[in-house]
A and B are shown apart, each in its own frame.
Chain A
Amino acid sequence: MSLTVKKRKPFNIIRWFLTTGWRHVVGLAVCTFAVFPLLYILSTSLYPNNDINNTTALFAEISLANYMELFNQESRPFGRWYFNTVYIGIIASVGSVFLSALAAFAFSRLRFKGRRPGLLSLILMQMFPSILGLVAIYSLLADVGRVFPILGLNSQIGLMMVYLGGSLGAGTYLMYGFFNTVPKEIDEAATIDGASHARIFFSIILRLVAPILAVQMLLSYIGVSSDFILASILLSDPNSLTLATGLQQFISDPYSKDWSMFAAGAVLSALPSVFLFLALQKYITSGLTGGAVKG
């Protein structure tokens, strides 16, 4: 809001192009690169003729037939997979955030023997890429499943526990940082007022960091719901699959490839993640500079 009135220069297309115009050209080019695969999959999903990979121009025909058909396939129960993904994702993300919060509370608020080594080993354990533990996880579940089939291979509970266990290390460390930002004076005051430790944890600290907890849960949900490796190794029964493993069936079998069906499924599966991601953009980008890389 400058008060000096500048004399507006006459519009000059060359000068406009040299200052900002070319930037729009670059922007449009990059956007095209970024978005065309997504438009392609959207277009394929709306293309009714489903026998071949869509080779026509984008959006040549539009119909919702594929989406309808998606929910009517018995051998590929898409609706079931969707439910499984949401159900496993919610339980695993809520569970891991809650367990991490419990542990982080101890690290942040209590002083005990082994606190520093505990924190250090959390950092160290994160460095072991989870995929390298596949053999161990697989054989662990196979052994457990020999006695308790409900917790073993091809069990969703087993998979959830693996997700829970896998994200605890990183989750606790992150949460520890968040809890440290809550001033200790607050819980000291509460203690003086006669609050028990459980009350301080549940009614004060958790409430204060609730927004961060929510973001953390959503991020963990995005992570879990797009996990392919663990789910593909541990689940095999068609009804127990998640989207990440189930959708593959539309395109992996060379004799019954169904691109249109896959595309429709992909669009529906991606929607929640993309939506969450865009909504949480601000938090995610601040987390990015903290060194998190998306898996």
Chain B
Amino acid sequence: MAGKKLKAWGEAGPSLSGTLWKLGVLGTVDAIAVTMIMVLVSQELLTQAVLSIFVLLIVNWIYLRKGGLPAKYLTPGVLFLIVFQVYVLMFSGYTAFTNYGSAHNGDKGLAIQTINNAAYRIVDGPDYTINLVKDDSDGSRAFLMTNNIDGQVSIGKDKELPVILEEGKYTLSTECADKYAEDTVNCAKAALNADGYTTQDVAALSEVEKSRYLAIRVLTDPENPNVGIRTSEFTIALPSEATLAFDEKTDTFTALVDDEYGNFFAGDVFKPAVDGFYRIDGVLENAKLDGGWRVEVGLANFETIFTDVQLREPLVKVISWTFMFAILTVLTTFILGLFIALVFNHDKLRGKKFYRVIMILPYAFPGFLSAYVWVGLLNRENGFINTVIFGQEPGSEANFPWLLEEGPARLAVLLVNLWLGFPYMFLITTGALQSIPSELNEAAEIDGASGWQNFRLIKLPLLLISIAPLLIASFAFNFNNFTIIYLLTKGGPSDSGLTDYDVGGTDILITFVYKIAFSGTGQNFGLASAFSILIFFVVATISLISFRRTKKFEEIV
């Protein structure tokens, strides 16, 4: 039956305008994709280019062939899902088993580049004002260099001697080559463009392109390949001497000079070590070169979580507060919301609509703004709460330290979350209360139940049946309620005196993990991802339980 229907759909041929639309959209997508693929090719990222061509061909096949209707509707969404959810999930999973972080932030090629780019010292010689160019004949990258002293213009390519350009083969800028020249009329001018070369706009260059220009060493002495003219910021190039030599065949760095801090000496050989660094002879205990790459570390991150002594104390504290925070938030918001719902669940009460609109304002107000507003209200010296409501002296340091000490800060976080969350609970409990059949109330009254008995034995159990899944969802949500904690207190007040980790009194797991991943010093993505996976399991378990219970509840009702 279904198959037949599908055929029928295919048979109804598309209209002309429909086909034109389709071709138009597909053509635009193709044009953009082809441009991007050309950029990939020009930057020598061939794997990525081939992969993109492959995906592009599949997409075109899906839309140009007859039939295969589901794919036509699913492809756009699926592409986005693959990139932003499937890939993200898999990447997080994989990262948990690596040492990815600020010290190991890419693959080995990137690490070699980083090391090479940092391993030089400036030597005597003329300095040059440069523009980045590409040779039109073979696409190779080069410097268009103007000697700041004699104004001579030359083209410098990697590992080659500079080629001097005759006058007339280049155009000069109107400004001085030397930006600090005193005589701005007679000074040497820098070459801007040269015949046969295309000048690149530095601001528009991608990081990959920039790093290729950073790698250029223009020779000054054919006998000494270790001295070359290099640039570090794309406008000036200086003769520099390499302090390390990389040998691709043996995958080693050799020190050419002594390290100025005495960590290694000329002649030391650095080999890749298992921890993702180049170390002397590849031995773990030896000195390393800054700039590591990402390596798989097995279960090391999980081991850290469960065994690191430095981590234990803060972690226990953070976990217990996370549960406390989530449970207390659900309880307080639910109780207040339910109380208000009960109070207002009265037929003769007037102005219910008015109250309702006012009361849901905290819920309607954007959450991030609420947090900021409360930061202002709770300010110790001049906050509205301290000075106006509690009548403390404005500007006094002796006022109540709402967000500055652990106990008060926790109280404040709960208070703010109560303010944010009670309207939601009010709305859902009102809905649930109204769905309880009024016959039940009447029957209870006739049987002589008191108001309290009626509530506790009849309304509350019925209410919980429909509300329980939402309470669990609210728990799961608050378990990971990053925004409120981070914007109110940043997890503080900090007690970093405790350990190496950046942890504070109101940190919940998710903010703690965020700090591990993104806080200023020592970003550790691997460890953060390992935590993420554990949190995912906690939340997924809770959600699954709630799903299953919902089904059970449905069976009961």
Contact = CB atoms under 8 A, between A and B. Distances in A.
Interface in B106-156: none
A124 B382 CA distance: 47
Contact of B427 (A35, A56, A288): A288
Contacts of A54: 384
Contact of A244 (B368, B525, B535): B368
Nearest to A222: B366
A259 B374 CA distance: 12
Contacts of B76: 99, 102-103
Given A147-B43, A289-B431, A23 B349 contact: yes
A139 B383 contact: no
A196 B8 CA distance: 9
Given A34-B358, A147-B39, A285-B427, A127 B540 contact: yes
A150 to B, nearest CB: 9
Interface in A244-295: 244, 247-248, 251, 259, 262-263, 266, 269-270, 273-274, 277-278, 281, 285, 288-289, 291, 293-295
Contacts of B525: 135, 139
A157 to B, nearest CB: 12
Contact of B84 (A161, A222, A225): A161
Interface size class of B (residues with CB under 8 A): 35 or more
A145 B207 CA distance: 7
B365 A274 contact: yes
B365 A38 contact: yes
Contacts of B482: 131, 229
Interface stretch (B13-21, B165-173, B185-193, B232-240): B13-21
Interface string B84-121: 11111101100100001000000000000000000000
Contacts, number: 296
Interface stretch (A6-14, A65-73, A164-172): A164-172
Interface residues of A, number: 99
B220 interface: no
B489 to A, nearest CB: 13
A37 B536 contact: no
A180 B48 CA distance: 40
B197 to A, nearest CB: 23
A274 B367 contact: no
Determine the main DSSP class of A at the interface with B.
helix
Interface stretch (A25-33, A75-83, A212-220): A25-33
Which of A23, A112, A191 has its CB near the most chain B CB atoms (within 10 A)? A23
A196 B355 contact: no
A140 B87 contact: yes
Interface stretch (B308-316, B453-461, B470-478): B470-478
Contacts of A226: 366-369
A216 to B, nearest CB: 15
Contacts of A134: 514, 517-518
A266 B373 contact: yes
B487 interface: yes
B349 A106 contact: no
Given A147-B39, A191-B8, A131 B77 contact: no
Contacts of B13: 196
Nearest to B340: A30
Interface in A21-59: 23-24, 26-27, 30-31, 33-35, 37-38, 40-41, 44, 52-57
Given A129-B536, A135-B92, A251-B375, A146 B517 contact: no
Contact of B366 (A19, A262, A273): A273
A168 B409 CA distance: 37
Nearest to A53: B382
Contacts of A222: 366
Given A140-B87, A165-B83, A226-B367, A291 B473 contact: yes
Across chains A and B, which 10 residue pairs bring their CB atoms closest together, nearest first?
A165-B84, A277-B364, A106-B73, A103-B77, A136-B91, A132-B532, A146-B207, A226-B366, A53-B382, A112-B70
